[in-house]
């Protein structure tokens, strides 16, 4: 059996970090993923997929990701249910992330600083690396 999901998309909103009663970090966010085909109107449709991240990676995602960031998520599909306050059973389908990769550097300022305050090197910084010269 195989249960593996790989997604690339943008965060719809800032991630939400919380902790379980035992102190385990868990972060939730929703990922907007465009479909690879167009509908009858010629427009691309988008799926909004809930993502759950656990432990240290949950804290990293909560600290460094925000709305609009491009990420790749590698994980598994999970379907769970719960009883709502009105007594009805509700079902949730979500992706439990095993690996989240940040695919962009966020908004860059004129100095080359990214959203987290670290400096993104320019190509001029690599002039002294011999195998990068033409």
pLDDT digits (tens, 9 = 90+) for 51-88: 999 999 999 999 999 999 999 999 999 999 999 999 99
Q: Which domain holds residue 92?
A: 5-107
Quote the CA–CA distance of 43 and 32 in Å, as a whole number. Answer: 15
Count: domains in the chain: 1
Look at residue 94 and tell me if it is in a domain. Answer: yes
Look at residue 26 and tell me if it is in a domain. Answer: yes
pLDDT number for residue 125: 44
CATH number at residue 46: 2.40.50.140
Look at residue 125 and tell me if it is in a domain. Answer: no
Look at residue 113 and tell me if it is in a domain. Answer: no
Look at residue 129 and tell me if it is in a domain. Answer: no
Look at residue 43 and tell me if it is in a domain. Answer: yes
Look at residue 27 and tell me if it is in a domain. Answer: yes
**Backbone phi, psi, residue 125, to 5°:** -70, -10
């Amino acid at each position: 059996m195989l249960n593996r999901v790989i997604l690339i998309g943008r965060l719809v909103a800032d991630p939400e970090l919380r902790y379980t009663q035992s102190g385990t970090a868990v972060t939730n966010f929703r990922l907007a993923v465009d479909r690879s085909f167009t509908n009858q109107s010629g427009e691309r449709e988008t799926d909004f997929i809930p993502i759950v991240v656990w432990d240290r990676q949950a804290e990293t995602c909560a600290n460094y990701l925000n709305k609009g960031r491009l990420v790749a998520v590698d994980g598994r599909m999970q379907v769970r249910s719960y009883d709502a306050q009105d007594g009805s059973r509700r079902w949730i389908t979500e992706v439990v992330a095993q690996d989240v990769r940040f695919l962009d550097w966020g908004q860059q300022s004129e100095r080359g600083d990214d959203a987290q305050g670290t400096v993104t090197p320019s190509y001029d910084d690599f002039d002294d690396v011999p195998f990068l010269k033409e």
